[in-house]
A = this chain, B = another copy of it.
Amino acid sequence: MSFSPLIRQLIDSLRILPGVGQKTAQRMALQMLERDRSGGLRLAQALTAAMEGVGHCSQCRTLSEDHLCPQCADPRRDDSLLCVVEGPLDVFAVEQTGYRGRYFVLKGHLSPLDGLGPEAIGIPELLARIAAGSFSEIILATNPTVEGEATAHYIAQMLLGKGLSLTRIAHGVPLGGELELVDGGTLAHALAGRRPMVE
């Protein structure tokens, strides 16, 4: 009881959003109904347009409603660099760094236990993209997790002997932290990867 059917249905539907439980969904639904109905309608239109319109970029496989995503369509980017990431959000993260090469977006990482092999995450498409391009360096920027490392190593194995420079993003201490709070594995990577201060 207590909420009318349309409101209940809205609350239930909001719960598909990640991190949104019953209480948050209630607050979201009632705030929109009480204060921002036009915003709620705009959100409904944006949802419909995106769910029906967005596909995958034919070149880098990221989410995009156009045949080519903004990164692939930009002629001013460096065609010798290819950055391989696990998902579309990683493209956004790497873009923030000022990187201006090309991308290839996998569908996650290798996970044999979940039945996700090379085909499932798009490695054949990656190899085809590399064969069709004129890259000199492939940057493997999968996540610094066990699965991400395994995926990077697998891809590196497949590309050995093709005359490409294969690189992996560096592991080390993040900026702004305190050394005593960094976990041992990260600190070991940071020590092993130490670099001369005066080059």
- Chain A residues within 8 Å of B, Cβ to Cβ: 1-7, 9-10, 12-14, 16-19, 24, 26-34, 36-37, 39-54, 63-66, 69-71, 74, 87-89, 91-92, 95
Contact across chains for A41 and B32 when beta carbons are under 8 A apart: no
A197 to B36, CA, bound (A): 49
Residue pairs across A and B with Cβ atoms less than 8 A apart, 13 shown, are: A3-B92, A6-B53, A7-B54, A9-B46, A13-B39, A13-B46, A14-B46, A16-B36, A16-B43, A26-B92, A30-B87, A33-B63, A40-B47
A49 to B87, CA, bound (A): 33
Q: Top 8 closest A-B pairs, CB basis?
A: A44-B47, A16-B39, A13-B46, A13-B43, A4-B64, A10-B50, A40-B51, A2-B95
Contact across chains for B13 and A65 when beta carbons are under 8 A apart: no
When C-beta atoms are compared, the residue in chain B nearest to A38 turns out to be B51
Contact across chains for B46 and A63 when beta carbons are under 8 A apart: no
Contact across chains for A4 and B51 when beta carbons are under 8 A apart: no
Known: A17-B28, A30-B89. A50 touches B1 (CB 8 A): no
Given A4-B66, A9-B46, 13 additional A-B pairs, CB 8 A? A2-B70, A5-B65, A6-B46, A6-B65, A13-B42, A16-B32, A16-B43, A27-B89, A33-B54, A43-B44, A44-B44, A44-B47, A44-B48
When C-beta atoms are compared, the residue in chain B nearest to A96 turns out to be B2
Contact across chains for B95 and A1 when beta carbons are under 8 A apart: yes
